[in-house]
Amino acid sequence: MTATEGNDSGETLTLAGLQSLIETMYSSKDEARGVDGTFMWLMEEVGELAAALRDGDPKELAAEFADVLAWLATIANVSNIDLQQAVLQKYGNGCPGCGQMVCHCDLQIKP
What pLDDT score does 8 carry?
59
What pLDDT score does 96 carry?
94
What sign results for the dihedral spanned by CA atoms 6, 39, 20, 16? negative
Report the number of distinct structural domains present in the chain: 1
Mean pLDDT by 10 residues, the chain (111 residues): 52 94 95 94 97 94 97 96 97 95 91 71
What pLDDT score does 9 carry?
66
Cα–Cα distance, 94 to 111 (Å, whole number): 10
Say if 42 falls within a structural domain. Answer: yes
Say if 5 falls within a structural domain. Answer: no
Q: How many CB atoms lie within 10 A of CB 34?
A: 12
Domain membership of residue 38 as a residue range: 15-80
**CATH label of the domain that carries residue 51:** 1.10.287.1080
